[in-house]
Amino acid sequence: MIDSSIINDLTGADVFGSDDAKIGTVGQVYVDNDTQTPTWVTVRTGLFGSSESFAPLDDATFEAGAVHVAYEKSFVKDAPRIDTDGALSADEEQSLYAFYGNSSGTSTSAGLADQDGGRSADATDTRGHDTSGPTTDDAMTRSEERLHVGTERIESGRARLRKHIVSEQVTKTVPVSHEEVTISREPITDANADDALSGPGLSEEEHEVVLTEERVVTAKETVPVERVRLGSETIAGQQEVTEDVAHEEIVLDDSAEADGTVADRDARS
């Protein structure tokens, strides 16, 4: 339970879920009208804190400048959306307690604690009259939407290096040689007469010559030829973003005036 002594410290504090995931930051603190005990906080979530979810403080803790609630981030972000512009009605508070599985919210209503004093905006604190909604002060606030544009990095694809074996034919010309039989005849002369007459007069003989040839022999070896790395580079570009933004305009409705002479004065002049 978080007591009223640290209300001023809650606004803007980081909010973490029971799964230790950061949900967002505290936008506004709602307190019990009777005890001034903080009962709810709104948690700003989404890009640039563009939306708010209600989270109960019944079992929450405040440690090291951060609020830890008893619910997971996804559960809190799914809480019912309720306007954060004043006190919670009984029906609104009951719908929140029903979502979080707690019925204790039926006994009291809660008011909005401002950032300066942690004061409860209960029904008795009025300084003006509003015919269309909750009573406010004597001025009307004009608001407008501001477009905030940012970037986030997401995965757009993956690239892999993969190598495989490809076979191709290589043709090379290699010179080769072989031996062929030749017959040479020479007449009988004084120089070879002794060799010619050394044998019998008539006989049968065989002479054999071994013939050789060159044969092509191939061999292969594997050698490294290059190194290939996979990397990435950032290419900068520009992209136009178009969104609709709304703003409020305040005009004078003088139909209720007797003479229709109400002047519209610029407060800045």
**Which CATH number characterizes residue 75's domain?**
3.90.50.10
Least confident range of 44-53, 90-99, 145-154: 44-53
Q: What is the pLDDT of residue 89?
A: 79
Structure tokens at 83: 């306007």
Average pLDDT, the chain: 79
* Verdict on whether the full-model pTM lies above 0.85: no
192 inside domain? no
In a domain, residue 171? The reply is no
pLDDT, residue 243, reads 92
Category of 36 on φ-ψ map: left (φ > 0), alpha (ψ -120 to 50) or beta: left
- Measured CA to CA, the distance from residue 151 to residue 156 in angstroms comes to 14
Does residue 64 lie within any of the structural domains? yes
Look-up: residue for tokens 């409705």?
253
Domain around 14: 1-120
Asked whether residue 35 is domain-assigned, the answer is: yes
Structural domains of the chain, count: 1
* 23 φ/ψ angles, rounded to the nearest 5 degrees: -90, -40
